[in-house]
Structure 1
Amino acid sequence: MPSPIGDSESLQIFDPLPPIKAIADNPEIWPGVLFWAKGKGEAFVPAAHAEELFIQLSREFDHGVEALSAVMDKYNSTLDGVRSNQILHLSDLHFGTDEAQHHEAYFETWLGHILPAMDRVVITGDVFDSTREVDFWAFDRFYRALSNACPKDPILVPGNHDQRVYGLKFGKLGEDTRFLSRIAFHPGVLADDDLRCVFLLFNSSEGQDFARGEVSIDQRRRVATQLLTEYKRSPQIAEYSRIALVHHHPIPYSPQEARPIQKGLKGLFMGNEKYIEMRDSEEFLKWCAKRDVPLILHGHKHLPRHRLEGIFENGRFLREITAVGCGASLGKGTGRLAYNVVKWHPEAERWSAKFFSGPIDGSEFSEDFVTLYRGTLENRPG
């Protein structure tokens, strides 16, 4: 689990039980077999080792659940040196709002407990609510706290609220790009040798009116140029995993979509795309497919989301791309705090995304949804 159907498979699980979480925590093991003793632990085993562990467990069937749990714990201890990469995905913080002011201290404290297990933090835009000094400085303090708690600075792409007055513009009216340089954003390429990953960074709010977005031909060409330059400087990064970061959702929402991932949401504004969509999103997806980008992380709609799409051009299949959206991390307009954890194995296109949310009273974060993807790195284009 998961096993391939055709070339790849995506498995989606709502409100996962603890044993199922072991699968998402170990993408380097896929395909594998899950063993568990109710309430007493679990072990997720590579398929090649499943029979061996089953034989060990069968010897303890007459000795009770505790004995079975001990066998699984012993097996799990042998995996301590095997570790996948983990990214903490935040989005739509909207500093300057009452929600951000009231929820920041708790959310930051909670993150302090999980950050030691994370390799990198990414933030996909709308870091403040409007282009005001007070909003910028509120976010800057949070960003510096994250930087101090992590071995590397968080990676950031901007949203429409970071360069438009309250996220809206019409022509030049409402456009305000003063803060783009201050949040140190430049469209381009960021290679992380420790993660064996290349992040492709886009500003989807350069053009369009209202809250709409677009990744222009010019921006795609600039990112491609920098990517080729980085290949020449460091040839090894051509083999790294590639993840695109963008604010606007590249795959449109529709009223017919499945139930929302996040608990407590009812699919609000699911089909209201007219003023918030990403224009020419099909071209952006085709660009990502041709550049062999299997994963896009985004925000914008304040709805946690997972979509796997086959990308075609003139009837020719290019590749599958998954878009993972994060909810409003500080609860703007939703009443729930949200973050995602993306985990992958650098040697193969195997990854999981886990979606977490929690009520604003600080009672508990829950793991609402897990998606697992197993693909292939064959036929990687240059």
Structure 2
Amino acid sequence: MTKQTGMPAKWLFAGSFLANTGTSFIWPLTTIYLHDTLGKSLIVAGLVLLCNSLCVVLGNTIGGFLYDRWSHFYTILVGSIIVIFGSTFLMFNNGWPAFPLGLMLLGFGNGLNLTSINSFATEVKNKRTSYIFNVLYFMSNLGMVIGTLLVGYILPYGISKVFAISLVLFIIFGIIVVLFYRNHEGTRTISRGAALPPAEKLTADKLRPLLALLFNIIVLWIFYEQWQSNIATFMVENGLSIKHYSSVWTLNGIMIVLIQPFMTYFDEWLMSHLHMRLYGGLCLIGASFIVLLFAGAHYYLFMASMAILTIGEILVNPAASTFVDNLSPAGQKGRFQGSLASATSLGRALGPVIGAMIIDYISYTSLFILATLCIWLAVFGFSLINRHYLRQ
């Protein structure tokens, strides 16, 4: 019988950084590569992205179950092996239909890894969980900034080189998993071959605010995803360039990297105002789409919209993980962190399709109005449900 200990935070942060950097070498080039190199239509590219996101959802869901009911270490080990195999496959097979098949494999593995990392965060014992999620959010975005910045310089040498560098990062991630995650199965005492105790039930008074938050996350990412799909076309149609669009994402990354450390410094105060942080961040994300109503060809208004969106994102994302952890019963941390990751992936999967339908059948203006109204109505409902929970 072996007494297990909590995960050291530094290796959790290193794992998050490497996993997200490796992933960010791949996702920015997916649509461009499918359309410009493989000659597929934008509809086909959208369907490939949808399938990839659904595989991430599947990985999130299975990862949460395996983390709670099987093994913390072996769940993330399986995820790391899958992404290593997926990037190796894509390095040598990046035509059609091998490319989308490899992407779906990577999506499933990344889903396992993301849920495992967020679940391991609940096992760190020497820091507040809210602090850990803040730093994880910073490290994951730092990885994305570095990956998306470098991929533009590496892609001219061939897409195989991109997957090769991604493979190296995933291998280092796998080595860290094997060396430093092995002996951290959480706080429970486990005997090999012994049955796990029954999972605690989530009471109805906690389930309602949890479901309300997950619904808000789905709505949020449906419209956030417009920035990674339809808003690029909107900017080009208004006379702006792809360079302008790329610089908007540069602003997003720089703001996250610069502001998040201050959020972490004031973590104790923010933790005591967790619910207001969620409401305020969601409302800011909704408000960012109002600015787009007046953007037209005004580049600075797109920058202003992204700035508002980013501040809202910084407020919401780590706080959502902390909120879910606070409500999750013992023995089900992986399941509910997986549910949060699945809600994010589901929103991202539905976003491009829903946005394209609204644009095709109505207009961009209607899309931006609906984005604001849907996000604000969802957060209003969440606040009402949460208020009732807080009175219990």
Query: What range is the shorter-chain TM-score in?
Result: under 0.3
Relative to its length, the structure with more helix (as a share) is: 2
Higher relative contact order (CA 8 A, sep 6+): 2
TM-score, length-normalised on structure 1? 0.25
Which structure's residues are more often strand, by fraction? 1
TM-score (norm 2): 0.24
